[in-house]
Amino acid sequence: MRRHPLVDESRGITTPSDSTREKQMFTYELQQARHAELLREADAQRLVNLARAARKARRSLDRRSGDHASEGQVNTDHDRFATAA
14-18, 56-60, 81-85 — which one is most confidently predicted on average? 56-60
Q: Is the pLDDT of residue 64 over 70?
A: yes
Cβ neighbours of residue 34 closer than 8 Å, sequence gap 6 or more: none
Q: Is the pLDDT of residue 44 over 60?
A: yes
CA 80 to chain centre: 48
Average per-residue pLDDT for the chain: 79
